[in-house]
Structure 1
């Protein structure tokens, strides 16, 4: 991508410098990553520092996109920085004391020496493949598997979310179908004139498909841009089993049955093709496999999809026509699609909708990032940060590679469900050493069956963690913890959408320092030099040397320039498939095997998957498991974001906790009345895999028969020691999610389609919440329910396809 320096200079002339003095304070203009926890949006902050301490945080009105608007998490940054529970020094404890609050402060040298001693022993006795680096959102650029590959030298970097059910499926599917990163909606983020820029067109329609950007600015999409565009005339459609806040302002709410998105998308394609509403020119010139797609979607007419999705067929016709005739139109595709075993096929069908209607890489549609030489997309530079020159046999040893080569090859990470299997069984080889990097995986943030993860991790020879807070995961499992800096304590960059959209790049400008916490990249350098120095040649000095020789090489400016400008916008071009800007070879077309949008995927076919979209029933629904549904009549959804928190983070912060003090489960009024549940009552939620407790929120925003249970809950104010672990088991909704229910590519999990039953909790239940979270009513463990549970109808099992 190219960058519009002139526009930035013009803005700086009328705005503020990156650092200045005001009212006795040093004010630093900066952007933010995590904490406070959003994905790469790069919201603009002004941080006021007096006598070396932050006294105030405000929104930066000079930021070209966020324009001074901030969420409550950013506004609570001072509370985050100086909270007494924050980790700001290295700590250690004896392995025998896992679960006990017996941490001792130690020096960086001592902590690194402990890690190195264990690393060397495991490497010599078992090989580097016996190590795993687990990752979460990250504190600095979500550097993914780099810690595994370049620091530990192992192929096993792992995001321990069952089926990698967040963003990873979108990226991998899109890279195959379009040859680019996930195509976010075009909200003029890279244009100097914003929505009024002459190059931009306000979208006539935005479909929020399983996404509510206003709460969390997911995947780098600044959520308030949806409101900005609606004020300028954009119509909104909300496809979601729940009517969300923005959905209440939509022209249409499609409350489909969870997990049926692929059927809906296929039916929309069928209407658009049958009624000749597609863009013939784009299809003829730039699409591969259109006739095959047309034939496939004929098998899913709206009447059939309506029965599957439990919505009126006429609504499908109306939605398909509205989308096809609105020019331009955009689809914001959310994590709820990723969190379905059928999500890959749904994503493939959604990409086909974007493509055949001509909404790919047009103003106001789905915008793509340029990848041609010299403009920020040099593949060799990007690869140099992650997957190193590792021996082929080691790359092939990555856990899950044989069964899920598309997953492991695309993400260069081990398959999450198979990683748990390896921890438990020692197959294909035992795991002896783990790095738990910024992931609170046993609190219900990502892992399905978290008690199984907890038990397995406690048996590993050595576990160390890097984070900003003491979490139940660290308290229960780890031997050393290293402190990480927050967004206000580092110098780095935040590339919007991970650099996958031509919007802007922001600078995180250091404002203060707390204790001995270090930025994530600096920590990688420290660990890398100690454990795997051959991978860190010529990177011994400081952050800037490392960053300038890796990530910053992907941009036509250096960090010093970005720091002074704070934000540099892209120079956005559209229809780059016509000019060769989407392919490294500079030829027109898309960066795919066929040079076109692959509506029919040769790669899927190569790895044994159907090359065309198809629908299959999720493995835990009333349709696929009718006998189970008799005892567990509710379909449970989980994973929706809350305004005050980012997954499990923030519950120590008083201002944020006041917004949402208790774990909530949404229940339709009719269901609440039937089960004698009133607002604020504790509710027992259970199924064959687990039990948890949340407080009732009675609301009509979802249909009878469905509940939405909050995730991420633990209670930092409660007893830290095992087995309590800050009350992590009481409201641990992920204990109810079965392990290993992914699709054939290895993606997806039933986080939105799991069957449960509910009842008003009794005092005796709550008094024994820890025990119930770990054991069944008869005292026997229930965490291995997967061993006896089978799909009632084998034809509905994706593994049987």
Structure 2
């Protein structure tokens, strides 16, 4: 089998990353879960039939519902990757009558930005398909490394520089590949992006560099915002961010004076305790410069007319959910603007039964033991359940805790409608090979499970097959899945300044620099700055023992969070968990390139993790940048090395956290390191 990129794809233009090129090795890997498995009393796995698996899971769910109520059941997904889980698991939750769908990563992945955009302009503004790089004269990459995470976008940035002479501004504590080509690399102190954004806003306003006509016609709250940002002078911003005042001023002047300009912001901004307000401040920058929905700016995108998108499926018939059930959602009063259950709160509930017991969880598209903060607490929580069902390709550390492991079909083994992330086109993902063993697509598993539950509400999962589901998504376009395969790509024509006709999708139908929604819920209606709770400024007393700033979640091209570490061809490119630091930082500690180090944090004093050093001058001095999601598939079960070099062992779910969505300080907190003897690294 060989995989090649499709040059006709509107997004990738034929590029295929190492993970994609090696995807068939996931399909044929000898360690694939190919049959339903049941955990025996001795901890070993027993192969069972699908019929037995569905019967036994249904029996256990029925017993839990009868004794504890439907709300004691939950579904859980993580980032998911190319699986359907993020948008179909909420439907399973509703079918089971529970308000508890746990999105275990959403408080630090995408949703803070989604909310920031929603409260400011009403819809998505700065994810993958929003910045129109090709037509831009200035590009800002804020907290992202598309060369590794979305390479086709990096290609477009380079193309814009060559063809448009576009200016390039990179905001990152690490000199990424694009930063090496940038006009400005703003080497920011991790966790202070909100201060820089407010400083940029201050300069735009005080120097009159903003789009006055756009602000007058389409924005509300300008005077309030002007008053909020006035204290964030270039000098003040330098004191907070470590970026020289002149660079702060010169860079924003370049952004404001080279229109159209596109701003691309990624998940690094969301790994702080002020994530939503930071993303709001950045959205305000796009608005004040008039770069909203214009050619070369940040576009509003949507799927072709009539197509039923993932977002629509996620909210499918939610209004028909039984009255009063949604109010029982775990953490409903903690974060009322969340549509899902906050992961850290759910894990605490599994342990302490507050506000009520949570006894059964169905997991798909997630590996929370490795990817969730405080991995050992997460593990204890999952062990405390009466029933844990996990669907996956491999026996991950999370699967090893399950009562039942169900084999999921990979993206090469199923037919489905595929929409570009935040994009304007759809295509048919066509099955290339038959599912290995007895693997099934995630939706097929859910359909067959709810059929075994007489009390489940089939209205939320009413389809009889994946084929029927695929055709249903296209019916309002007058198409079926066979038609989509023949069409190959259906692209929605780009139209600009759509707000001129319909306004913005906010309560006031304007850009809300001052958010009426946040004010209604008792939050600060204006973007603000919060110093990280653990930093050289907020906790100087910790610096003697914990002198380094920790940045977790370093990107690479070979893994997607904790996925693909079984694949030899990928693992040989990143065989060890890597911690990057500046040579001068290492020299002070007698650390050489390739040495193993132990990392500790003040909030998890009794825990540590092991990483191999990579010394590079591309990293800001005094900063330690680590991989995340590391485990060792070849290690013995059940842990499979999940606690040896997994950075989430030394992160915590304890407050402080973002007030609106609960984001945690995965970037910008403090740590210490110690060189260890290679012989004793385990």
TM-score band by shorter chain is: over 0.9
Change (3 A) 1:277 1:557: farther
Change (3 A) 1:537 1:339: closer
Q: Is the 8 A contact 2:141 2:169 kept in 1?
A: yes
Match of 1:269 in 2: 201
Task: Work out which of the residue numbers 561, 565, 569 in structure 2 matches 1:647.
Answer: 561
Task: Work out which of the residue numbers 637, 640, 646 in structure 1 matches 2:551.
Answer: 637
- Residue 381 of structure 1 deviates from its aligned partner by 5.3
Task: Work out which of the residue numbers 225, 248, 252 in structure 2 matches 1:293.
Answer: 225
- Residue 106 of structure 1 deviates from its aligned partner by 0.9
User: SS in structure 2 opposite 1:743?
Assistant: coil
Match of 2:408 in 1: 484
**1:654-673 matches, cutoff 5 A:** 654-673=568-587
1:459 and 1:571 map into 2 onto residues whose CA distance is: 51
Match of 2:60 in 1: 118
State the Cα deviation string for residues 527-584 of structure 1 (Å, max 9, x = none). Answer: 23223643347935321223433x43575643222212222211110100112xxxxx
**1:698-713 matches, cutoff 5 A:** 698-713=615-630
Task: Work out which of the residue numbers 326, 350, 362 in structure 2 matches 1:435.
Answer: 362
User: SS in structure 1 opposite 2:507?
Assistant: coil
1:290 and 1:628 map into 2 onto residues whose CA distance is: 40
2:539 and 2:245 map into 1 onto residues whose CA distance is: 25
2:305 and 2:22 map into 1 onto residues whose CA distance is: 39
Change (3 A) 1:56 1:185: closer
1:385 and 1:397 map into 2 onto residues whose CA distance is: 19
- Residue 677 of structure 1 deviates from its aligned partner by 1.0
The farther-off stretch of 136-145 and 398-407 is 136-145
Number of residue pairs matched? 673
The farther-off stretch of 232-241 and 346-355 is 232-241
Does 2:350 align with 1:423?
yes
Give the CA RMSD over aligned residues. Answer: 2.2
User: SS in structure 1 opposite 2:87?
Assistant: coil
Does 2:175 align with 1:236?
no
Match of 1:563 in 2: 485
Match of 2:150 in 1: 217
Change (3 A) 1:763 1:150: same
Does 2:457 align with 1:534?
yes
Match of 1:326 in 2: 258
Match of 2:399 in 1: 474
Q: Is the 8 A contact 1:485 1:517 kept in 2?
A: yes
The farther-off stretch of 506-515 and 656-665 is 506-515
User: SS in structure 2 opposite 1:236?
Assistant: strand
**1:165-564 matches, cutoff 5 A:** 165-184=108-127, 202-217=135-150, 222-232=153-163, 233-369=165-301, 376=307, 382=313, 385=316, 387=318, 389-407=320-338, 412-443=339-370, 445=371, 447-475=372-400, 477-497=401-421, 500-501=422-423, 503-513=424-434, 514-531=436-453, 533-536=456-459, 539-549=462-472, 551-552=473-474, 557-564=479-486
Change (3 A) 1:169 1:332: same
1:379 and 1:562 map into 2 onto residues whose CA distance is: 17
Q: Is the 8 A contact 2:18 2:557 kept in 1?
A: yes
**1:106-185 matches, cutoff 5 A:** 106-138=48-80, 139-141=82-84, 142-143=86-87, 145-161=89-105, 164-184=107-127
Change (3 A) 1:496 1:386: farther
1:260 and 1:396 map into 2 onto residues whose CA distance is: 35
Q: Is the 8 A contact 1:186 1:364 kept in 2?
A: no
Change (3 A) 1:153 1:228: farther
2:526 and 2:231 map into 1 onto residues whose CA distance is: 12
2:376 and 2:318 map into 1 onto residues whose CA distance is: 31
2:565 and 2:75 map into 1 onto residues whose CA distance is: 26
- Residue 181 of structure 1 deviates from its aligned partner by 2.4
Match of 2:45 in 1: 103
1:156 and 1:520 map into 2 onto residues whose CA distance is: 19
User: SS in structure 1 opposite 2:361?
Assistant: strand
Q: Is the 8 A contact 1:89 1:482 kept in 2?
A: yes
The farther-off stretch of 699-708 and 757-766 is 757-766
Does 2:515 align with 1:601?
yes
- Residue 345 of structure 1 deviates from its aligned partner by 1.0
Q: Is the 8 A contact 1:150 1:386 kept in 2?
A: no
1:538 and 1:646 map into 2 onto residues whose CA distance is: 29
Q: Is the 8 A contact 1:157 1:414 kept in 2?
A: yes
User: SS in structure 1 opposite 2:624?
Assistant: strand
Match of 1:50 in 2: none
- Residue 763 of structure 1 deviates from its aligned partner by 5.0
TM-score normalised by length of structure 2: 0.94
